[in-house]
Structure 1
Amino acid sequence: MRRLLKTAVAAATLMLAGANFAAAETTIEVQYPYSHLFKTTYEKIVADFEKANPDIKVKLRAPYESYEDASQTVLKEAITNRLPDVTFQGLNRQRILVEKGIAQPLDQFIAKETDFEKDGYHQAMLDLSTFNGKVHGLPFSVSLPVGYYNMDVLKKAGWDKPLPTSWDEVIEVCKAIKASGQTVDTMFWGWNITGNWFWQSLNWSRDNTMLDPTETKVNFGNDAGKWSMRTFAKLVKECDMPNNEWKEAMANFSAGKVGMFFWSTSALQKIADDSTGLYTLKTGPFPDVAEGGGLPAGGNAGLVLAKDPETAAASWKFLKFATSGQGAAYVAQTTGYMPPNKAANEVILKDFYAQNPNKFTAVKQLPLLRDWYAFPGENGLKITKVIEDSMQSIASRERVEEPDAVLKDMVEDTQKLLPKSGS
Structure 2
Amino acid sequence: MTGTSLSRRRLLTGATAAAAGLALAGCVGRKEGDYAQVSGQVPAQFARRERIVLWSAFTAHNATVLQSIIDGFNASQQDIFCEIQLFPGYPALDSKLAASFAVAQVPDLVTLSDVNWNRYFLAETLEPLSGYFDAGFGPDAFHPRFLAEGTVRGQVHWLPWARSTPLFYYNKEIFAAAGLPDRGPKTFTELREWGRQLKNFKYRGSPVKMRGYTGKDDWYFQGSTWAFNGGYSDGMTPRLDSEQTVRALEFDRAFIHDDRMAYLSGDINADFVAGVTATICNSTGALTSLLKAAKFEFGAAFLPEQDAPGVPTGGSGLAVMRNSTKARKQATWELIKYLAGTGAPEWSLNTGYLPVTTSSLNSSEIKERNAATPAYQIAQDQLGRARQADVMRRYVNETISEMLIVLEKVYASDADPREALREAARNLDPAIQRVLPKYQRLVAS
Please report the TM-score for the alignment, with normalisation by the length of structure 1. 0.84
Q: Which residue of 2 aligns with 1:415?
A: 429
SS at match of 2:81: strand
Q: Which residue of 2 aligns with 1:101?
A: 124
Q: Deviations over 1:81-107 (max 9, x none)?
A: 332211101111111111112221112
- Offset at residue 344 of structure 1 (A): 1.7
- Offset at residue 135 of structure 1 (A): 1.0
Q: 1:228 and 1:323 mapped to 2: Cα distance?
A: 38
Q: Which residue of 2 aligns with 1:224?
A: 244
Q: Check the 8 A contact 1:98/1:131 in 2, yes or no.
A: no
- Offset at residue 53 of structure 1 (A): 2.1
Selected match of 2:270 from 251, 256, 266: 251
Selected match of 2:346 from 330, 333, 341: 330
Gaps of 5+ in 2: 1-44, 439-445
Selected match of 1:319 from 320, 330, 336: 336
Q: 1:75 and 1:304 mapped to 2: Cα distance?
A: 14
Matched to 1:297, the amino acid is: T
Selected match of 1:307 from 324, 330, 355: 324
Q: Deviations over 1:357-386 (max 9, x none)?
A: 1111211111112112353898x2322111
Distance 1:106 1:266, change over 3 A: same
- Offset at residue 297 of structure 1 (A): 0.9
Q: 1:422 and 1:138 mapped to 2: Cα distance?
A: 26
SS at match of 2:275: coil
Q: Does 1:154 align with 2:150?
A: no
Matched to 2:388, the amino acid is: D
Distance 1:377 1:341, change over 3 A: closer
Q: Which residue of 2 aligns with 1:12?
A: none
Q: 2:353 and 2:360 mapped to 1: Cα distance?
A: 12
Q: Deviations over 1:316-361 (max 9, x none)?
A: 111232233x422223211221022134224543333112211112
SS at match of 2:198: helix
Q: Does 1:298 align with 2:314?
A: yes
Distance 1:79 1:403, change over 3 A: same
Q: Does 1:61 align with 2:115?
A: no
Q: Does 1:90 align with 2:90?
A: no
Distance 1:409 1:299, change over 3 A: same
Matched to 2:431, the amino acid is: L
Q: 1:40 and 1:158 mapped to 2: Cα distance?
A: 41
Q: Which residue of 2 aligns with 1:180?
A: 201
Distance 1:22 1:52, change over 3 A: closer
Matches within 5 A, 1:75-224: 75-110=98-133, 112-118=134-140, 120-160=141-181, 162-182=183-203, 183-194=206-217, 196-213=218-235, 215=236, 217-224=237-244
Q: Which residue of 2 aligns with 1:274?
A: 293
Q: Which residue of 1 aligns with 2:63?
A: 39
SS at match of 2:318: strand
Q: 1:163 and 1:54 mapped to 2: Cα distance?
A: 50
Q: 1:184 and 1:330 mapped to 2: Cα distance?
A: 40
Q: Check the 8 A contact 1:146/1:264 in 2, yes or no.
A: yes
Q: Deviations over 1:205-262 (max 9, x none)?
A: 245442233x1x31232232122111221232224433233xx221222233321111
Distance 1:190 1:135, change over 3 A: farther
Judge which range, 223-232 or 369-378, deviates more.
Answer: 369-378
Q: Does 1:397 align with 2:421?
A: no
- Offset at residue 298 of structure 1 (A): 0.5
Distance 1:76 1:289, change over 3 A: farther
Q: Which residue of 2 aligns with 1:15?
A: none
Matched to 2:251, the amino acid is: T
- Offset at residue 189 of structure 1 (A): 4.5
Q: Count how many residue pairs are aligned between Structure 1 and Structure 2.
A: 389
Q: Check the 8 A contact 1:92/1:373 in 2, yes or no.
A: no
- Offset at residue 184 of structure 1 (A): 4.3
Q: Check the 8 A contact 1:191/1:199 in 2, yes or no.
A: no
Q: Which residue of 2 aligns with 1:235?
A: 255
Larger radius of gyration: 1
Q: Check the 8 A contact 2:160/2:317 in 1, yes or no.
A: yes
Matched to 2:177, the amino acid is: K
Matched to 1:415, the amino acid is: D
Distance 1:338 1:124, change over 3 A: same
Selected match of 1:342 from 338, 351, 358: 358
Distance 1:375 1:163, change over 3 A: closer
SS at match of 1:323: helix
- Offset at residue 422 of structure 1 (A): 4.5
Q: 1:49 and 1:88 mapped to 2: Cα distance?
A: 17
Distance 1:73 1:205, change over 3 A: farther
* RMSD, matched Cα: 2.6
Please report the TM-score for the alignment, with normalisation by the length of structure 2. 0.80
SS at match of 2:319: strand
Taking only the aligned residue pairs, the percentage that are identical comes to 18
Q: 1:226 and 1:116 mapped to 2: Cα distance?
A: 44
Q: Which residue of 2 aligns with 1:10?
A: none
SS at match of 1:165: coil
Q: Check the 8 A contact 2:212/2:268 in 1, yes or no.
A: no
Q: 1:117 and 1:98 mapped to 2: Cα distance?
A: 19
Distance 1:184 1:362, change over 3 A: farther
